[in-house]
Structure 1
Amino acid sequence: MEWFTASGYWLSRLVLQRALAALYLVAFTTAALQFRALFGERGILPVPRFTEYVPLRRAPSVFHLHYSDRFFAAWAWGGALLSAAVVAGAADAVPLWASMAMWAALWVLYLSIVNVGQTWYGFGWESLLLEAGFLAVFLGNARTDPPVLVLWLLRWLLFRVEFGAGLIKIRGDSCWRDLTCLYYHHETQPMPGPLSWFFHRLPKPLHRVETAANHVAQLVVPFGLFAPQPVASVAAGLIICTQFWLVASGNFSWLNWVTIVLALAAVDGSAAADLFSLPAHAPLGAPPVWYEVLVLAATVLVVVLSWWPVRNLLSRQQRMNMSFNAFHLVNTYGAFGSINRSRYEVVVEGTDEEKVTAQTVWKEYGFKGKPGDVRRLPRQYAPYHLRLDWMMWFAGISPAYARDWFGPFVERLLTNDPPTLRLLRHNPFPQAPPTHVRARLYLYRFTTWRELRETGAWWHRTLEREFLPPAALRRS
């Protein structure tokens, strides 16, 4: 079937798959380095306890069958190794069926992790990475031209990401409609980056331009993805540019990077190859019939499952970042339907004094990404995901977000638990654990240009109230 493949998109497919595999490498590495403290056997929210009350059908995962920290580490590092192999071109050096098996393995490996990750994996980009990885299974390899249907499915996924995010904003916070949301967002976003202070200090008229441009990029441009070339490539380019703007302005894990990768499905690969003076792509033979059947089956599956996200997009009660099935296929997406006007941070402190008094000296724990020390410039971590730091941001919004995990986290600080301490930047008690730990809520704001020059501080903070009174381990 000549209509089945698109030979002009060979370069787009190649770059898309290699870049997507690189993001899987980041995701598996993140899991391997953080799981012991977050949901390991002795973690804050242990997997074995989770699998006791959540059945396999609700959260398909190999860890329902067996769990140990050693097994999980092997699973995660195995996924990282396979991802690295795909990045290096292994999936293009093997037969088509083997390439599909490699991508299917990446999807299954990561699905098993996400479905037992609980609170730590409740982010929309987990489902986005899984859905993109599932479609990559059917995108083929160097042995065949990319199927037209899968390229359209990737565009449909990108459309839902962008248009869903645009709708949730317009329907949500009034500041998106009056173009004032970016007066606050760069300062109150979950994890600012090294340039966020400078973005926040841009003139307010430019913030209004930013907001208006965001609406155009998310509510108008996505329709261009389904237009003929070169319009589709232009639309993809505009989306890529806006995503790089977001990459520069903050840390959003791999959300922006997956969106950039998906946009490549709409880029005319032949035109790009000509632009970079790449050699012409040799014509490939017709794809095998079994492959065509699998692609058609996957297309039908996505079309059927699209009913739920389409209905959600049309609903006035639109929900964002929701999976309608346990396999995270054909999900609904969106972000920042509401914007915080003020930034509240939970500051965790400990003391080694036996008795807490008004004169007790408290020492502050340092986190890698979230604001703490007012003189420390925020760092760039994305696409790496600091899961504890992100949840600390939610805790600052409301204690309800921390109900399940903050207490166990403090308990591990009181014992100097090594896996937990590895998630932190600074432990003020390296020799012996503290006797007491407390948490206090501060109001943070970016300093002005004048304050920065005079104090060298990027943040100014004001104590608001107690978040957790001094806590100690019970003595038997």
Structure 2
Amino acid sequence: MEWFTAPDYWLTRLVFQRALAAVYLVAFLTAALQFRALIGTHGMLPVPRFTQSVPFKRAPSLFHLHYSDRLFAGCAWAGCAVSAALLAGVDSLLPLWAGILLWALPWLLYLSIVNVGQTWYSFGWESLLLEVGFLAVFLGNDEVAPPVVVLFLLRWILFRVEFGAGLIKLRGDACWRKLTCLDYHHETQPMPGPLSWFFHHLPRPLHRVEVAANHITQLVVPVLLFTPQPIATAAAALMIVTQLWLVLSGNFSWLNWITIVLALSAVRFPADAPSVPDAPLWYVVVVLAVAALIAFLSYRPVTNMISRRQVMNRSFDPLHLVNTYGAFGSVSRVRYEVVVEGTADAVPREDSDWREYEFKGKPGDPRHWPRQFAPYHLRLDWLMWFAALSPAYAGSWFGALVERLLENDRDTLKLLRRSPFPPDEPPRFVRARLFRYRYTTWRELRETGACWDRTYVREYLPPTRLADAAQKS
């Protein structure tokens, strides 16, 4: 079975598996801490309502069999526990078959969460984690050397992630071809980080260099993943450096980190391979069958990638085994933010005592400097960015958010940085207004201490009381 395994990659597998377990841990922790307000029984988009209208075959999930908030919390915290065990290397202490089952458990649990998560779980990195996690199930443990075909399929995912993202940029916004997108991107990205203001103010010639380097990393370097070592390792290292640059420049949940994890699977670390027995026949058959399935299913993402009508972040099967990826095919030139306010006044007037709700990650108070949250994913904050682009993106959940703010719902308020109202004194009215945000200049920062300057644009939601919000939700 020498053709089937790659003993020199045993340390690569070890590093990859531990890093993937860490990403799983963050994903399950995010789910456990946020689900009640988002998709819980009394959440903005309740799971029971979803499972009643969407059949199991379209969105396979354990929660089609039964749902309760206690069960969901149990699954999310169980996912945290299994991820922590994998991070600690428990799978290496088990027989091969048991290690496979242990790796299958977080994949099954997270698939069940994503498939009922609705718009809160519609991001590309959810499918990417599931696609990578599925292949990790068959990567083996210390009882067998890493299978060559699984290592190849992991590179195939990385190739599609990077090359697909590069193609959609060239086909999309003209600023990518003109090398000018970074004149806007750091200011208008969904959730800026603590260094984004400084990245935005880098000299424009350097922004051109950044875009050009991005094109090379996404359109040329991925091809080198399939070349002999050490070229493939050098290509993966370049991708890792690029992703770390993106980590510094913004908050993109675990998108950059799962891409780094994928790149680690192509790195051959210098280490002596331990002596292990040949792979058992049943394992060879299972791995080759999985590889054949993935090769068959890859037809649709490949067709999409080479199409002039390429789409981003779409799954082609309900198990998320193969997907298409991409980000920022178009870049916003102007940043808009929805500012949510409440008042305790009996009659809402323009001069009423309107108090602003502060979110954890999205811009609000111009003096509040952005914080680093990634790889943790602030789902509500990300959806608020989409809501500012168009009310159509918020149609399914924004009314429910307002209703819960009017109720001072405890679980919803936990998603915010600060509520301006005491727990026992909810607002009588809530409204939302649209503002244009821009980064301040160096001089404005020194004079005012504010990193943002904002200008009122228009009303987003008129003053709404509880009965009105209930009707809209």
SS at match of 2:3: helix
User: When the two structures are superposed, what TM-score results if normalisation uses the length of structure 1?
Assistant: 0.97
Q: How does 1:58-457 map to 2 (within 5 A)?
A: 58-269=58-269, 271=270, 273=271, 280-430=272-422, 431-457=424-450
Tell me, in whole angstroms, the C-alpha distance in 1 between the residues paired with 2:452 and 2:467: 36
**AA matched with 2:194:** P
Q: Return the offset for 1:322.
A: 0.5
Match of 1:462 in 2: 455
Aligned alpha-carbon RMSD (Å): 1.0
Q: Return the offset for 1:359.
A: 2.0
**AA matched with 2:244:** F
Tell me, in whole angstroms, the C-alpha distance in 2 between the residues paired with 1:312 and 1:245: 28
**AA matched with 1:319:** V
Tell me, in whole angstroms, the C-alpha distance in 2 between the residues paired with 1:61 and 1:342: 39
Tell me, in whole angstroms, the C-alpha distance in 1 between the residues paired with 2:351 and 2:74: 48
Q: How does 1:45-64 map to 2 (within 5 A)?
A: 45-64=45-64
Provide, for residues 283-302 of structure 1, a one-character-per-residue CA deviation record: whole Å limited to 9, x for no partner.
Answer: 11101111111110011011
Q: Return the offset for 1:211.
A: 0.4
CA separation of 1:358/1:332 partners in 2, compared to 1, >3 Å: closer, same or farther? Answer: closer
Tell me, in whole angstroms, the C-alpha distance in 1 between the residues paired with 2:442 and 2:130: 43
Tell me, in whole angstroms, the C-alpha distance in 2 between the residues paired with 1:66 and 1:265: 37
2:465 to 452, 472, 475: 472
Tell me, in whole angstroms, the C-alpha distance in 1 between the residues paired with 2:121 and 2:406: 25
Q: Return the offset for 1:3.
A: 1.0
SS at match of 2:314: coil
Q: Return the offset for 1:401.
A: 0.4
Tell me, in whole angstroms, the C-alpha distance in 1 between the residues paired with 2:261 and 2:318: 24
Q: Return the offset for 1:409.
A: 0.3
Tell me, in whole angstroms, the C-alpha distance in 1 between the residues paired with 2:397 and 2:349: 27
**AA matched with 2:365:** D
The gaps in structure 2 that reach 5 residues or longer are: none
List structure 1 segments (4+ residues) > 6 angstroms apart after TM superposition. none
Tell me, in whole angstroms, the C-alpha distance in 2 between the residues paired with 1:265 and 1:363: 50
Tell me, in whole angstroms, the C-alpha distance in 1 between the residues paired with 2:120 and 2:351: 37
**AA matched with 1:162:** E
Tell me, in whole angstroms, the C-alpha distance in 1 between the residues paired with 2:12 and 2:365: 43
Tell me, in whole angstroms, the C-alpha distance in 1 between the residues paired with 2:350 and 2:160: 54
Q: Return the offset for 1:282.
A: 2.0
SS at match of 1:3: coil
SS at match of 1:2: coil
**AA matched with 1:376:** H
Q: Return the offset for 1:357.
A: 2.1
Match of 2:19 in 1: 19
SS at match of 1:238: helix
**AA matched with 1:419:** D
Q: Return the offset for 1:361.
A: 1.2
Q: Return the offset for 1:218.
A: 0.3
Tell me, in whole angstroms, the C-alpha distance in 1 between the residues paired with 2:133 and 2:348: 52
Tell me, in whole angstroms, the C-alpha distance in 2 between the residues paired with 1:343 and 1:460: 11
Tell me, in whole angstroms, the C-alpha distance in 1 between the residues paired with 2:158 and 2:348: 54
**AA matched with 1:17:** Q
Tell me, in whole angstroms, the C-alpha distance in 1 between the residues paired with 2:76 and 2:282: 31
Q: Return the offset for 1:94.
A: 0.6
Q: Return the offset for 1:358.
A: 3.1
Provide, for residues 41-76 of structure 1, a one-character-per-residue CA deviation record: whole Å limited to 9, x for no partner.
Answer: 000000000011100000000101100000100011
Q: Return the offset for 1:281.
A: 3.4
Query: Which range moved further: 260-269 or 147-156?
Result: 260-269
**AA matched with 1:395:** A
**AA matched with 2:407:** T
Tell me, in whole angstroms, the C-alpha distance in 1 between the residues paired with 2:348 and 2:100: 61
Tell me, in whole angstroms, the C-alpha distance in 2 between the residues paired with 1:282 and 1:140: 14
Provide, for residues 267-325 of structure 1, a one-character-per-residue CA deviation record: whole Å limited to 9, x for no partner.
Answer: 112x2x3xxxxxx3321110111111111001101100010001001110001100000
Q: Return the offset for 1:146.
A: 0.4
Q: Return the offset for 1:474.
A: 2.4
**AA matched with 2:220:** V
**AA matched with 1:4:** F
Q: Return the offset for 1:433.
A: 0.4
SS at match of 1:4: coil
**AA matched with 2:309:** Q
Match of 1:276 in 2: none
Tell me, in whole angstroms, the C-alpha distance in 2 between the residues paired with 1:127 and 1:37: 22
